[in-house]
Structure 1
Amino acid sequence: MRFQLQLDSKNRSPTIPINYQYPLSAAIYKILDKADSHYATFLHEEGYTVNGGLKHFKLFTFSDLKGRCKVNHDRLHINSTMELIVSFHLPEAAQHFVKGLFLSQDMDIADKKSKATFKVNSVEALSYPFAEIENKDKSTITVRAISACIAGIKNDKGEYDFIPPTDARFAFCIKHNWEQKLKALKIPFHENELKVAVNLKNTKPKSRLITVKAFTKQQTRIKGYLNFEMELTGNQEQLQVIYNAGAGLYNALGMGCLEVVK
């Protein structure tokens, strides 16, 4: 399920970190925690696992913030109402519950240098753009990322080497991550049933380097890409997972949020 939030600042001259993804993710967890601390703790500490392994999936993501803003070094000065899309892989029956969680809530976006508080003034539930696809059928949809999409392969140090969409391994990594999400959810698929193809015909991917946990000992950087399209093939249930939960790595930090290209 997917919602579009309208965020209005409660500050006169709101300023947020340009690397706002981690504090915004924390703000979303905080809202979830108010309603169901067990669910929020499960997402934050455990997530969904594959065969009890170390790989955890927190099956939600969110888009980049959209609105008028001015970049000043590592800060964003906000000049308008901001829009945010949040996406969860949850049963449709939970839609009204989740919508009610966010409406009129405050969201703090802050680091050690600045803080701004936003009120959620409206929450609009968005429909699935491919709801007509029957579960038994295989279909191909074209999507683009509305937040940086991250693919990576772990090196000898156990750290990710991030891969651009121009590298053939990018599609493989996105597909493998999608398959792991399906396994965690116990959604069946056959070998070679899912397909991911990167479309670079009329676009040049743009890289984005994002700092996570800035100004702390845990600070790290991740690298993702925007401005490209992918073709995804699967049945409706399978497609819903990657659409709801995001593509690639670090989805709960707002990475890999997708929209369907009309």
Structure 2
Amino acid sequence: MRFKLTLERAGRQRFIPINYQYELSSAIYRVIERGNENFSAFLHDEGYRLGKRPFRLFTFSRVFLDKQRAHIHQGRIEHLGLRAELYVSFLIDRAAEEFIKGLFLGQEFFLGDPISGINYQVSKIEADGPVNFQRKMQYRCLSPILIKEKRREGGENYLDPTHPKYGEFLIQNLISKWAAQAVAGVEQNKISFQDFEYRFEPLGKIYKNGVLIKQMTPQECKLIGYSFEFILEAPEELHEIGYYSGFGHLNSQGFGCVEIKMNQS
């Protein structure tokens, strides 16, 4: 399910880090934990597993501020207004709508780091209606998509959408998420994803997004994702997986959230 959260700035603080995705992920976990420790532990520690790989099947967008100013050299964003919007998405049954609303509505959380941050309160939460997924869909990124490929000598490469393997990796990731749900016993249609045709096509300008996580700690590192529009032709079930849990890797860290531009008949 997809939810739109309306946030109200509480207090006089006005500055958040430009690289806030990791801090926002932590804040979302804390909000959920206050409402339901078991659900928070499942998302954070367990998720759906395929072998040793956990898939935490939720994602979230960037924070959309009503009025802002970027201070690039200081690494800060100044929230000049009072409101913001955030989209949070879970691959769960629609029967959980009221449960999720209850976790977030009225909650207050801090978005920031040791230098600066803002307290926000969730003043409103709305659930999106059901989506009619079709084989061909067009999407726009609400947060960067990250696709990584392991190097033989160690480390990882972050692929850009024009890389010849990008679409293949994107599809394989969706299939792995589907399989992880099946292993966990989630009820699904009996479908085989062997030898099916797909098409991935990036559209228009592609924006490279470098994201620092765990800033000011020994574990600080930079991740590379890309924001763009794209067309994807694939089974409807994989569209549903991508839309609700995120496309690509590290969705629970704020990567891979998209909106639908249009259904392509």
User: Does TM, scored on the shorter chain, surpass 0.5?
Assistant: yes
Uncovered stretches (5+) of structure 2, i.e. residues with no partner: 183-187
| Pair 1:259–1:40, CA change in 2 (3 A) | same
C-alpha contact (below 8 Å) 1:143/1:259 kept by paired residues = yes
1:139-177 superposed Cα distances (whole Å, 9 cap, x missing partner)? 221112111011110113543200101112111111111
Post-superposition shift, 1:206?
Answer: 0.7
Instruction: Give 2:54's aligned residue.
Output: 56
Aligned partner letter, 1:23: E
C-alpha contact (below 8 Å) 1:195/1:233 kept by paired residues = yes
Q: Distance in 2 between matches of 1:64 and 1:196?
A: 27
Post-superposition shift, 1:13?
Answer: 3.6
SS in 1 for 2:196: coil
1:96-129 superposed Cα distances (whole Å, 9 cap, x missing partner)? 1101211110121121211211001110111133
Q: Distance in 1 between matches of 2:2 and 2:210?
A: 26
Q: Distance in 1 between matches of 2:257 and 2:2?
A: 11
Post-superposition shift, 1:194?
Answer: 6.2
Uncovered stretches (5+) of structure 1, i.e. residues with no partner: none
Q: Distance in 1 between matches of 2:62 and 2:130?
A: 19
Aligned partner letter, 1:97: F
Aligned partner letter, 2:108: D
Q: Distance in 1 between matches of 2:153 and 2:103?
A: 40
Post-superposition shift, 1:86?
Answer: 0.5
Instruction: Give 1:192's aligned residue.
Output: 195
Q: Distance in 2 between matches of 1:220 and 1:194?
A: 36
- TM normalised by structure 1 equals 0.91
Instruction: Give 2:256's aligned residue.
Output: 256
Runs of at least 4 residues off by over 4 Å: none
The counterpart of 2:165, out of the listed 152, 165, 169, is 169
Instruction: Give 1:88's aligned residue.
Output: 90
Q: Distance in 1 between matches of 2:168 and 2:58?
A: 21
Alignment of 1:1-262 (within 5 A): 1-50=1-50, 52-53=51-52, 55-67=53-65, 68-72=67-71, 73=73, 74-80=75-81, 81-130=83-132, 133=133, 139-186=135-182, 187=188, 188-193=191-196, 195-200=198-203, 203-235=204-236, 237-262=237-262
Post-superposition shift, 1:184?
Answer: 0.2
- Provide the alpha-carbon RMSD of the alignment: 1.6
C-alpha contact (below 8 Å) 1:209/1:224 kept by paired residues = yes
Residue range with higher mean Cα deviation, 150-159 or 59-68? 150-159
- TM normalised by structure 2 equals 0.90
C-alpha contact (below 8 Å) 2:13/2:119 kept by paired residues = no
C-alpha contact (below 8 Å) 1:172/1:196 kept by paired residues = no
Aligned partner letter, 1:35: G
| Pair 1:115–1:239, CA change in 2 (3 A) | same
Q: Distance in 2 between matches of 1:158 and 1:241?
A: 29
Aligned partner letter, 1:190: F
| Pair 1:185–1:116, CA change in 2 (3 A) | same
SS in 2 for 1:175: helix
